[in-house]
């Protein structure tokens, strides 16, 4: 499938790279971009070959600098609500994708860009990357889940500081706050992203899917019920081919080969 605003490229070992490709407008998001991301997620979800998804932005300035302000400036209140709901739906689908998704933030990740990155399973950032939810400067709130995911990732007080002030957070601070997993130089970011993706791609996809469900659903449960859910999915994992292969490989002192 060909796209106008994104690129979806298969790489070796089941790794796919999705690039938001609107560098002239710093990869800003509009309905067309969101629709194409949704189509890409359809393809990945239906693929038996996909093991890991990397998401980045075209050019060397921005991951995604935000939603397209020119587009938003023409929206009525009801159209604005519909735009937010559409973005929420697409980003939630990304969050629930059945393979690991890693954001490679190579520049500005502001507004919708920060929300896109936070919808991935975790973030790797270039040392020049900047994060933030500066919607307050436009007289609006975040619309694609930023107020909710940011508070869950870095805590309520710091999230509110960023939402109230609109300030940008540098990569090193984002690392210290727990928003980002690792920071690399601009030149190393893609290489390190593919290196980590290649390692993840060799592991049990079934175990990864179940672990993802445990973390996402368990964080909203009390500890007792979350642990019950873990016991249930632990038991479920014993019914899988990956469990049989993984344990056989361990006992036979060889590297497992997961389907």
| Catalytic residue numbers, as ranges | 115, 135
Provide the token pair at 65. 């600098």
Return all residues near 69 (Cβ < 8 A) that are at least 6 apart: 28, 138
CB–CB of 87/67 below 8 Å? Answer: yes
Residue in 140, 129, 132 with CA at minimum distance from that of residue 115? 132
Q: Residue 107 in 3-state DSSP? A: coil
CB–CB of 179/154 below 8 Å? Answer: yes
Chain centroid to CA 119: how far? 4
Strands 101-105 and 122-126, sheet pairing: parallel
Beta-bridge partners for 29: 67
Give me the half-sphere count of Cα atoms (radius 13 Å) on the Cβ side of residue 127.
Answer: 5
User: What strands lie across the sheet with 182-184, from one edge to the other?
Assistant: 6-10, 15-20, 52-57, 101-105, 122-126, 182-184
């Amino acid at each position: 499938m060909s796209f106008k605003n994104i690129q979806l490229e298969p790489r070796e070992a089941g790794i796919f790279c999705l690039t938001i490709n609107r560098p002239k407008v710093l990869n800003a998001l509009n309905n067309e971009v969101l629709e194409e991301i949704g189509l890409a997620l359809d393809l990945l979800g239906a693929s038996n070959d996909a093991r890991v998804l990397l998401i980045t932005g075209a050019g060397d300035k921005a991951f995604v600098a935000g939603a397209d302000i020119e587009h938003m400036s023409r929206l009525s209140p009801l159209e604005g609500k519909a735009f937010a709901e559409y973005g929420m739906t697409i980003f939630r689908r990304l969050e629930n994708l059945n393979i690991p998704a890693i954001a490679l933030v190579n520049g500005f990740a502001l507004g919708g860009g920060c929300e896109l990155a936070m919808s991935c399973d975790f973030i790797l950032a270039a040392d020049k990357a900047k994060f933030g939810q500066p919607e307050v400067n436009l007289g609006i709130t975040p619309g694609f889940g930023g107020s909710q995911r940011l508070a869950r990732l870095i805590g309520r007080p710091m999230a509110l500081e960023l939402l109230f002030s609109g300030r940008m957070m540098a990569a090193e601070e984002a690392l210290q706050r727990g928003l980002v997993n690792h920071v690399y130089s601009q030149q190393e970011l893609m290489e390190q992203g593919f290196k980590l993706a290649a390692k993840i791609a060799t592991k049990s996809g079934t175990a990864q899917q179940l672990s993802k469900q445990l973390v996402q659903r368990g964080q909203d449960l009390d500890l007792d019920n979350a642990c019950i859910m873990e016991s249930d999915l632990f038991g479920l994992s014993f019914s899988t081919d990956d469990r049989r292969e993984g344990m056989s490989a361990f006992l036979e002192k060889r590297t497992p080969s997961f389907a």
